[in-house]
Structure 1
Amino acid sequence: MLLPLGAAAGLAMLAAAAGQSFAQESTQGRLSGLSLSGKEPIQIESDKLEVRESENVAIFTGNVSVVQGPTLLKSGKMTVYYAKDGGSATTGSANIDRLEVDGKVYVKSETQVATGDRGTFDMKTEILVLSGKEVVLSEGDNVLVGCKLTVQMKSGEAQVDGCKKGESGSGRVMMSITPGSTPEAKTP
C-alpha cells in the first residue's frame, strides 16, 4: 500500500554521525544529510493493516517495511495518526499528525544504520525520537550507543542520552570512532 508519508523518510534517514565528543549523560551534535523527502514514492508493506477511520488511525503490524529511495525502515508495528480534519486514513490522502514505530526498529540509509526499541516522529514539530534499552547508530566502523536519540529535523541537531544507571550500564553515552572510516573521509 502506498501512502504519502514524507515523515517515514525522516525516520529512515536518522542515522548519521552525531558529533565527536563524549559526555556523562548526553552528547549533542549535528546530523549530516538528514532531511525529509516528500518527492520519492514510499512503499509500505506489512502482514496486516487495520484502519480505524473514526479514530483517524492506520496500524501496520507484522514485519513492517517502509522504503523510500535508498532508505529502509523495519519494525514490528507502525501506527500512523492522522489529523482530525485532514482527510481520509483509508485512502492515504490525510494529513499525518505523527508516526509511532515499535518492536525492534531498524533504520538504514545509504551508509548509516540505527536501531532501537521504539520511535516517534511528530509532523508538527518535526522532532524524531528513537529510544530503547540500547539505541545504536553506526556508519562504517563508527558506532554511537545510548538509550535515546532526539533529532530536530529542521536544523539537523541531535542529542543522544545515556541509559539510566543500572538499566544498561554506566549511564553514559559510548562512541567509538575510527578515523578515515566514513565515506566522506575516504574521498580524495
Structure 2
Amino acid sequence: MRIDGRAAIAALLLVASPSFVFAQEAGRLTGLKLDGDKPIQIESDHLEVRENDGIAIFTGNVSVVQGPTLLRSGKMTVHYNTEGGSATTGSADIDRLEVEGKVYVKSETQVATGDSGSFDMRSEVLVLSGREVVLTEGDNVVVGCKLTVQMSTGLATLDGCAGQQGSSGRVKMLLKPGSQDR
C-alpha cells in the first residue's frame, strides 16, 4: 500500500504527539510539534483494506517509524474519505486515524503511553487517552487520563482521571529542578 504525503503526515500526527515541552502556561502543556517531511514506515502482522467502507486496518504488533519517532500499538485503523481516491492504494484523503491496544510513542527524548489514540484530520485534534496517560521527558513526568492537542496551535490539555476507582482524579506532574537545562 502506497502512503501519500498527506497520509504519512496524518499517521505521523499520532506518532509525533509526545513532542511536548513541560511548560506551565495557565495550567496547560504547550509545545507539540510535527515533523512530516521524512519518509514513514508502517509494519504490522496483518493489513485489511475495506475499500467500500473506506478503511484500512493494521493489526498485530503495529509499528510506525518516521525518523527518530516510533509508535507501537496493537491496532491502527485509518478512515478514508470515500469520495475520490482509493484506500487500497493509499491515494484517498484520510478522515481520521485511531490506534488502540497499549499505545506507546517515543520521539527522541519524549515518551507517551496510553490505551488508545485518535486524530481527526478536519479539526486537527489529537487525543490520547486511557486508564493512565503518561508523558515523560527525561526526569519530568506528567500523568492524567486524556491528552487533547490542537495541532494547528500546539495547545495541549491534560485531563485528570475523575471518576476512576482508586484515582484522586487530578493531573499529576513531577518536575525536576534544572531539567530544562539538560
What percent of counterpart residues are identical? 62
Letter in structure 2 aligned against 1:8: A
Q: Does residue 140 of structure 1 match 2:138?
A: yes
Secondary structure of 1:165 counterpart: coil
Alignment check: 8 A CA contact 2:82 2:92 kept: no
Seen in structure 2, the aligned counterparts of structure 1 residues 59 and 171 have a Cα distance that, compared at 3 Å, is same
- C-alpha displacement of 1:151: 0.3
Within a 5 Å distance, the mapping from 1:107-186 to structure 2 comes to 107-182=105-180, 185-186=181-182
Consecutive unaligned residues of structure 1, counting only runs of 5 or more, are none
- Whether the 8 Å CA contact 1:41–1:68 is kept in 2: the answer is yes
Q: Quote the RMSD (CA, aligned, Å).
A: 1.7
Aligned partners of 1:153, 1:66: CA distance in 2, in Å?
19
- SS state at 1:20 partner: strand
Where 2:13 maps in the other structure, the secondary structure is helix
Cα distance in 1 for partners of 2:23, 2:12 equals 22
1:19 CA drift (Å): 3.1
Give structure 2 stretches of 5+ with no counterpart: none
Q: Give CA deviations for 1:9-38 in whole Å, capped at 9, x if unaligned.
A: 22112112343379xxxx423125x1251x
Instruction: Provide the rounded CA distance (Å) in 1 between the counterparts of 2:44 and 2:2.
Output: 12
Structure 1 residue matching 2:52: 3-state secondary structure: helix
Alignment length (residue pairs): 178
Question: Structure 1 residues 43, 177: closer, same or farther in 2, change over 3 A?
Answer: same
Q: What is the match of residue 17 of structure 1? A: 21
Matched to 1:6, the amino acid is: I
Q: Does 1:35 align with 2:39?
A: no
Matched, 1:8 2:6: no
User: CA separation of 1:174/1:122 partners in 2, compared to 1, >3 Å: closer, same or farther?
Assistant: same
CA contact (8 A) 1:79 1:100 kept: yes
TM superposition shift of 1:2: 4.8
Deviation at 1:165, TM superposition (A): 3.4
TM-score, length of structure 2 as denominator length: 0.91
Partner of 1:60: 58
Compared with structure 1, are the counterparts of its residues 126 and 170 closer, same or farther at alpha carbon in structure 2 (3 Å cutoff)?
A: same
The 8 Å contact of residues 133 and 167 in structure 1, kept in 2 or not, is answered as no
Q: In the TM superposition, what whole-angstrom CA distance separates every residue of 1:163-183 from its partner, at most 9, and x where no partner exists?
A: 01343510000000012224x
- Which residue of the partner structure matches residue 45 of structure 1? 43
**Greater length-normalized contact order (CA 8 Å, ≥ 6 residues apart):** 1
Please give the secondary structure, in 1, of the residue aligned with 2:24: coil
Q: Which amino acid aligns with 1:154?
A: S
Q: Are the counterparts in 2 of residues 7 and 36 from structure 1 also a CA contact under 8 Å?
A: no
**What stretches of structure 1 move > 6 A for 4+ residues in a row?**
none
For the residues of structure 1 that align with 2:164 and 2:97, how far apart are their CA atoms? 30
Q: Is 2:113–2:135's contact at 8 Å kept on the other side of the alignment?
A: yes
What's the counterpart of residue 106 of structure 1? Answer: 104
Cα distance between partner residues in 2 of 1:36 and 1:10? 8
Residues 11 and 117 (structure 1 numbering): CA distance in 2 closer, same or farther, change over 3 Å? same
